[in-house]
Amino acid sequence: KTDISYLFSEEERHLRANDRPFNLSYRYANNAIKTSKYNIFTFLPLNLFEQFRRLANAYFLFLFCLQLIPQVSSLSWFTTAVPLILVLGITAVKDANDDINRHRTDKQVNNRRVDVLVDGQLRNEKWMNVQVGDIIKLENNQFVTADLLLLSSSEPLNLVYVETAELDGETNLKVKQALTVTGEMGDSIDKLATFKGEVRCEPPNNRLDKFKGTLTLDQQVSSLDNDKVLLRGCTLRNTEWCFGLVVFGGPDTKLMQNSGKTVFKRTSIDHLMNVLVLCIFGFLATMCTILAIGNAIWEVKEGSVFTAFLPRENGIDASLSSFLTFWSYVIVLNTVVPISLYVSVEIIRLGNSFYIDWDRKMYYPKSDTPAQARTTTLNEELGQIKYIFSDKTGTLTQNIMTFNRCSIKGKAYGELFNSAGQRLEITEKTDKVDFSWNQLADPKFVFHDHSLLETVKDGNPEAQTFFRLLALCHTVMPEEKTEGELVYQAQSPDEGALVTAARNFGFVFRSRTPETITIMENGRKVVYELVAVLDFNNVRKRMSVIVRSPDGRITLFCKGADTIIYERLHPSCSKLMEVTTKHLNEYAGDGLRTLVLAYKDLDESYLGEWRQRHHEAVTSIEDREERLDEVYEEIEKDMMLLGATAVEDKLQDGVPQTIEQLAKADIKIWVLTGDKQETAENIGYSCNMLREEMKDIFIVAANTAEGVREELQSRAGLFWLQKTQSVQDEKVDGDYGLIINGHSLAFALEKNMQLELLRTACMCQTVICCRVTPLQKAQVVQLVKKYKQAVTLAIGDGANDVSMIKAAHIGVGISGQEGMQAVLSSDFSFAQFRYLQRLLLVHGRWSYLRMCKFLQYFFYKNFTFTFVHFWYAFFCGFSAQLCLDTHYWTAVNQFFVWGSLAAYFAVTFTMYSNGMFFIFTSAFPFVGTARNSLNQPNMWLTIFLASLLCILPVVAFRFILIQLRPTINDKVRHKVRKEALPAPPPRRPPPRRISTRRSGYAFSHAQGYGDLVTSKGFLRPLKSRPALFIQKDSALAQNEPQHYRTISEEPEGSMSP
């Protein structure tokens, strides 16, 4: 029976290898992809629908419809239709071109070829024809066709090397490994064709780093994780061939699941423009209403006089005329809402992004990495930044780790002292430890303390266990290019540095399989059975492995953060903890990254029971992470403390100077790091975030909610803050700093304590949060965004910074040692932290000022044209007539737009060039971030005063002209207003008719003068003169008959004698 529930909500994917009918019953998507939006039939309606969703386009479509009504429009329909069609056409052509390219890309990808195992033989099929459950063969340098379960490969131990640059941007090779039960099939077509394994796994999702599932083969269940899966978008490298089972195809692949719509970030100018456009709509409606009311009043008082010149249809009264006039002025004054505003803004933003991409001062030659504006819509927002949230490792530091010091069973190594017990400064001339005795040593590794090597060579058991742990407890993959030349592929620089240190001190990690780890211990090959790996994550902050040595000893090795490991140590380690803590504080004080090492011996019976619970947890699909955490917590306790490591991560070049300049610009910097408090505090002093001259540095380190509240309130009380529901910018006397650890931050981020934290933090110039998780980083950013009217920026370089980068208004990614995930999630990217100063204080500031000046000029230009017609309405009877020819206005408009832009850029490039800056330094004061340049009152006051000043000369000239040289019309109007109209004589009531009385008219009249009148002989010839009005029934004509004539007169020569 066909299960169609997957059509609606797929909760679990179930598939069977080499069984297409079974898999097709679930109706899974095939491997064809479609990224295009339109086809030949849907392009026009869909594209127009998308474009008319923009308010400006819909508004001008409405105007176009109004202009088709003759009773309303005084403009030709093409005055709105042409620009609207141009804007729609240009956008449609761009969208069509983009979609055609998407169609071509889809066709190219779908028609790629791959070998598919069908009916017991390999066939070369198109990608689009691949189905879920098919087994396919990939060769070296070939793209992975779909999301595959790796079955076997040509490499020893069934390893596969893949490059994921198109997936997550990381160029380093990643290693995948097939299950042993499937790897035994190799490249045997017969075995692969008869493979009937069943896979149950999670439904399609966009999590690139996670995969949960099980493989059932011959009633044996094996767990599947991300290391067993090849994702679409990867490229096979350094591997001759491999076979894989298709799990997800086409739109269900993780690559396509991640290609959804990106969250669109809007700038403050976008929001302000929307408000301004709405206000302009209201202003337009107000002007049209005023003019419509003026038309109604004019029609009532003066309209009947001018009906000969302004003919109206029968039955049109003042109210209807006013209604039609309102819509007529909506058309005439439509220029107050410019149709080209949004297009012009996008062009300017595109130009500003080119300035960032082309800036050679933000180019890093060592890695050949230029600055990149990954979005063109946020350039001007860079000039509004108030808060910067920064990661430490790889962002402020170089993220190039070197093993520097260590503490083994209470004894510290790595420092040099003279005979008097004083510490010696280590320089390049200091003698280095000679590792030439170790043929597998890394020649780049440098260490100066000879006593550590001597301790290891003397067979000290604690020292040997220390480096044995470093050689076993990791997820590094080795690659031996030539004999003795080992290259480690590490997920983090920390692990690479620690494994390299163990390698140089005689414990060389050589190879690993799913079941074993092989190391060389002082030249002797030792193979350890790998029982279990308790992997690291940002919540656990530790990693453990359980191994069985050749002599049968079972040991759990663990490394992690000091606070995490200390909670899980045996009580007998209390004295050693005190000594080790002292060493850790010294290392952190010098800005070193620390880890604590511990171990635990296990017995066989307990391990067997634990492995059963671990297997149940790892093979579960639902709540796998939670169940695994419970199993891990069970065994990671009562461990024995072994020692600690200290890894050095130097500051990047120019970091202190950059932070100092940003502080001068009144930008507050918050550092969110996973390092311990002492390390972060020392880095804060190193890069000038924390300074000795600060008035006070607050440290919040309570372990309870009430303790955190009391500490925050006591600090906030120093500022006399008012407890309000919003957090305002305050000025305090002196600079303050705040340091808070992860435990305290977790309590402070609760809803009832958020404002307490924010009030205290916002009063400080620098805030450092230690031991924070990626989720807490994002929560801190969202907290500031929620309660502060300020623009935020987050900058980081690793995958743990992605959530913070996405949460901020602007995200900046640094392309460093931790891959490209931060860069791919960012809005801007570059290679060094010091470039942030130029990005904000140069490009951000100027992008904002350029945009604001353009918008000010744009609105001023359109308001000027609109006000001309508004004032003209008072002189044309509010009849919605144009005072300027449309062709004339178009020419003037183009001249002012392009001419002003050319003049502006010429003056700008001249006045703000480097040469002028060095000549007139005092003329260029730095005022910090440019804020609120567009909504300053003086801009709108300028528009009002400029329009008023342009009207005053016209009004004054008109008033003086009327006084000095009045026209006949002016004289008539003046006289009519001065002399009141005589009251009409009272009408006598008509007499009642009496039927017996005959009319006197027939008896009183003699013969009339009809012949004389019709002969025109009695008329005296007059010189022709223009009539003021050809109107005989108006009140003015009846009272002033000398100024009017009601009979047509002819020139003197045309009269008959």
> Residue 1054 gets which letter from DSSP?
G
168 annotated as belonging to a binding site for a ligand: no
Does 393 carry a binding-site annotation? yes
Tell me how far apart the alpha carbons of residues 487 and 65 are, in angstroms, rounded to a whole number. 71
Torsion sign over Cα 628, 633, 639, 645: positive
Question: Which residue in 85, 59, 51, 63 sits closest to 277, CA to CA?
Answer: 59
* Residue the block writes with tokens 């140590």: 569
Determine whether the annotation assigns residue 676 to a binding site: no
d(CA 570, CA 979): 114
Total residues belonging to the chain: 1057
Q: Find all residues with CB under 8 Å of 656, minimum gap 6, and list them.
A: 686, 687, 688
H/E element, 403: strand 402-408
The reply, when asked if residue 623 is annotated as ligand binding, is: no
Please report, as a single letter, which amino acid is at residue 1040: E
The answer to whether 777 is annotated as binding is yes
Q: Is 747 annotated as a binding residue?
A: no
Is residue 917 part of an annotated ligand binding site? no
For 242, the 3-state DSSP assignment is strand
The residues, any chain, with a CB within 8 Å of residue 29's CB and separated by 6 or more, are 132, 249, 250, 251, 252
DSSP letter string, 801-824: GHHHHHHSSEEEEE-SSS-SHHHH
Residue 1000 marked as a ligand binder = no
CA quadruple 520, 522, 525, 531: dihedral positive or negative? negative
> DSSP states of 584-642 as a string?
HHHHHHTTEEEEEEEEEEE-HHHHHHHHHHHHHHHT-STTHHHHHHHHHHHHS-SBEEE
Residue 593 labelled as part of a binding site: yes
Q: Are 814 and 796 in contact (CB under 8 A)?
A: yes
- Token pair recorded at residue 105: 């890309």
Of 458, 462, 450, 742, the C-alpha closest to 580 is: 462
What is the DSSP secondary structure assignment for residue 423, as one 8-state letter? Answer: B
| 637 labelled binding-site residue | no
Phi-psi region of 499 (alpha: psi -120 to 50; beta: other; left: phi over 0): alpha
Residues 6+ positions from 306 with CB-CB distance below 8 Å: 877
Q: Report phi then psi at 303, rounded to 5.
A: -65, -35
Closest C-alpha among 137, 147, 141 to residue 167: 147
Q: Quick one: angle between helices 845-872 and 341-357, nearest 10?
A: 160
The answer to whether the annotation marks 541 as part of a ligand binding site is: no
Please count the CA atoms within 13 angstroms of the CA of 640 that sit on its side-chain side: 13
For residues 673 and 393, the answer to whether their CB atoms sit within 8 Å is yes
- Residue 335 neighbours by CB distance under 10 Å: 17
CA atoms of 977 and 605, how far apart (whole Å): 118
Catalytic residue among 168, 391, 442, 449: 391
DSSP for residue 194: T
Q: Read off the tokens for 1009.
A: 């003068």
The Cα 340–Cα 334 span in angstroms is 12
* DSSP H or E run through 498: helix 493-504
User: Would you call 391 a catalytic residue per the annotation?
Assistant: yes
User: Tokens at residue 168, please?
Assistant: 């997550």
Q: Is 535 annotated as a binding residue?
A: no
Map 1000-1025 to HEC letters: CHHHHCCCCCHHHHHCCCCCCCCCCC
227 token code pair? 């290391």
Residue ranges of the alpha helices (H) in 753-885? Answer: 754-762, 774-787, 802-807, 821-824, 835-838, 845-872
Q: Confirm if 250 and 126 have CB atoms less than 8 A apart.
A: no
Torsion of CA 926, 932, 933, 938, to 10 degrees: -120
CB atoms within 10 A of CB 719: 17
Ligand-binding site membership of 874 (annotated): no
Annotated binding residues, as ranges? Answer: 391-393, 495, 536, 559, 593, 673-675, 771, 777, 797, 800-801
- Residues making up the binding site for Mg(2+): 391, 393, 797, 801
- Catalytic positions, written as ranges: 391
Annotated binding site for ATP: 391-393, 495, 536, 559, 593, 673-675, 771, 777, 800-801
